[in-house]
Amino acid sequence: MLNPGLHPPAGLCRRDLERNMFVKTQSLKVSVRVSNEKLPLRQILRLIPATVWGLGIATFLMNASTIIILGFSPLFLTTAIGLSAFGVGLIEGVVECVSWVMRIFSGILSDYFRRRKIFILVAYGLSALARPIFPMADSVAWIFVGRLLDRIANGLQATPREALIADISPPHLKGACFGLRQTLGTAGSACGALLGVVVMEMTNSDFRTVFWVAVIPALLAFAVLVFMTEDDRFSQEYSSKKEAKAHPKLFEWRSLRAFPASFWVVIGVTMLFLAGRYSGTFLVLWAEKKGMPLAYAPLVMVVYNILSSLSSLPLGAASDRYDRRYVLALGFVLLAASDIVLAQAPSFSGVMVGVMLWGLQFGIIQSIPVAMVADRAPHGLRGTAFGIYYLGCSVALLLASTTTGWITKNYGSVQAFYASAVLALVATAGVVLIRPAKERATLAPSPKKSKAK
């Protein structure tokens, strides 16, 4: 029970405050106990919050829908509508740019309004509404509108989703929580790719039927979000008027001072690594060059998505038990190994070994850096933190695509693989610059208070 002389903050009744104190106490006890024990993966899964499961299942469904649209819309544009390859590339470049820009703004806004779920719901609803555009489209303009709405939605939900996971994940399970979300997401991509191939075979390559099938998982993803997720904890962190005043203003540049130096080092090292990591499309082209039948092209994407799913959760959980920096370095080394195997591969079978290694590193890199960002971000600025992270990733990936294409054109694919391996190893050396994270249990400091100090 509370001390009779203790008054609850404004906006919280006495019962609510007692409940919050009990939950925090029990969470602390569980954290101390679990962090000192080697729990089996099955028990770790039981400890993961229900909202994280809801976000993971919704991501599985939405990725299954998205991969169908992403995989078949370029073919639909070129074969059914007659758009040139240059036009397809222009559309993809524009919509992806919009998606990455949306990520930083959605993160900042979710911090300002102290709500995560509403942004994710709006984004998933927008994606679901955009899906019927594709099977009904009869021109390039409609396909462009559908892709633009889909990528706006993707950017709108990505940052608040990661911030919500960071908000509700126990400190000793952050790696496992992000790993679970990544595992379900990549599994959804693999299932979506397989489903698309099966439907195309059953319908004699009827693009419109495939696009209608993609509508179903998108609607299910929205329903899962409505009934299986909540974000009350984040809003409760600012329950009192005193804490509300400590919240930074919208687009307040001075709030960046709240980020520790190790946060920026994580961003820099990750960007250095991603600047050398080419896209999965490059793997498909290399496999085809080494003798892969054209009909097996989706197999490359399925293989690396499956391996990514298998690596994300167990290695995410391992990063909770050990130092995350070791797991991050492992991901960097795996890319270097994959590059060397791909460069030396004499045939299609050798390429598939490199694809497997590439998939393993993909699962690590998609989950461990975001967990490290969550470790270092101030509680009231997690959306902003993930927005900065994704902005840095977009710049690095754009540089990677441009550089890989230039090296391949002028020196060949083998040299492009070796260049990627060199950058991966340099990034591995850079991991030593990252200092261990200290859990920041305080709110983002007010600019006025920091001056007073």
Map tokens 């101030």 to a residue: 378
Of the candidates 301, 316, 332, 313, the one whose C-alpha atom is nearest the C-alpha of residue 426 is 332
Confidence of residue 232 (pLDDT cuts 50, 70, 90): low
Dist. CA 77–CA 54, nearest whole Å = 34
Position 357 pLDDT exceeds 70: yes
**Which positions ≥6 away from 130 have C-beta within 8 Å?**
145, 146, 149, 150, 153
At residue 330 the predicted structure's pLDDT band, cuts being 50, 70 and 90, is very high
pTM above 0.85, yes or no: no
**Closest C-alpha to 387, from 167, 113, 120, 100:** 100
Instruction: Give the rounded distance of the alpha carbon of 303 from its chain centre.
Output: 19
Distance CA 316, CA 177 (A): 8
Check whether 364 has a pLDDT greater than 50.
yes
Quick one: which of 174, 177, 151 has its CA closest to 96? 151
Q: What is the dihedral of CA 91, 97, 100, 103, to 10 degrees?
A: -90
CATH class of 48-231: mainly alpha
- Cβ–Cβ contacts within 10 Å for residue 41, how many? 11
Can you tell me the mean pLDDT for 288-317?
79
Q: Where are the domains of the chain?
A: 48-231, 256-438
Three-state DSSP class for residue 438: coil
Q: Please determine, for residue 84, whether its predicted confidence score (pLDDT) is greater than 80.
A: no
Q: Given pLDDT bands bounded at 50, 70 and 90, which one contains residue 78? A: confident
The model's pLDDT over 4-14, given as tens digits with 9 standing for 90+, comes to: 444 444 444 44
Quote the DSSP letter at residue 247: S
Q: What pLDDT, on the 0 to 100 scale, is given for residue 9?
A: 44
Task: Show the DSSP H helices in 170-296 as ranges.
Answer: 174-202, 207-228, 232-236, 241-245, 261-274, 280-289
Pair of tokens at residue 160: 């608040």
pLDDT of 26 higher than 80:
no
Name the least confident of 6-20, 107-121, 292-306.
Answer: 6-20
Amino acid identity, position 361? Q
pLDDT of residue 349: 82
Summarised one tens digit per residue, pLDDT across range 234-250 is 555 554 444 444 555 55
Q: Residue 3: CB partners within 8 Å, gap ≥ 6?
A: none
Question: pLDDT band for position 60 (50/70/90)?
Answer: very high
Contact between 424 and 365 (Cβ < 8 Å): no
CB count in 10 Å sphere of residue 402: 11
- Asked if residue 153 lies in contact with residue 126, where contact means CB atoms within 8 angstroms, the answer is yes
Cβ neighbour number for residue 291 with a 10 Å cutoff: 11
Round the CA-based radius of gyration of the chain to a whole number and report it: 23
Q: How far, in Å, are 27, 343, 404, 451 from residue 411 at the CA level?
A: 56, 13, 10, 55
Of all residues in the chain, what percent are helix, strand and coil, respectively (each to 5)? 80, 0, 20
On the 0-12 / 13-18 / 19+ scale of CB atoms within 10 A, 222 is buried
Q: Which residues contact 126 (CB under 8 A, 6 or more apart)?
A: 149, 152, 153, 156
- Between CA 92 and CA 83 the distance in angstroms is 13
CA dihedral defined by 22, 28, 30, 36, rounded to 10 degrees? -170
Q: What is the mean pLDDT of the segment spanning 48-65?
A: 92
55, amino acid identity: L
| Confidence at 21, pLDDT banded by 50, 70, 90 | very low
pLDDT of residue 55: 93
Q: Are 249 and 108 in contact (CB under 8 A)?
A: no
User: Which tens digits make up the pLDDT trace of 398-419?
Assistant: 888 788 878 888 888 889 899 9
- Give the tokens for residue 321: 């038990």
Can 48-231 and 256-438 be said to share one CATH topology?
A: yes
**For residue 52, is pLDDT > 60?**
yes
Neighbours of 430 (CB within 10 A): 17
> How far is it, in rounded angstroms, from Cα 380 to Cα 111?
6
Region of poorest pLDDT, from 58-67, 91-100, 103-112: 91-100
440/453 Cα distance (integer angstroms)? 19
Residue 400: closest CA among 278, 294, 297, 318: 278
Supply the pLDDT for residue 85.
61
Query: How many whole angstroms separate alpha carbon 39 and alpha carbon 405?
Result: 45
Decide which of 3.40.190.10, 3.40.50.720, 3.30.420.40, 1.20.1250.20 is the CATH code for 256-438.
Answer: 1.20.1250.20
CB 120 within 8 A of CB 161: yes
Tokens of 313: 């959760």
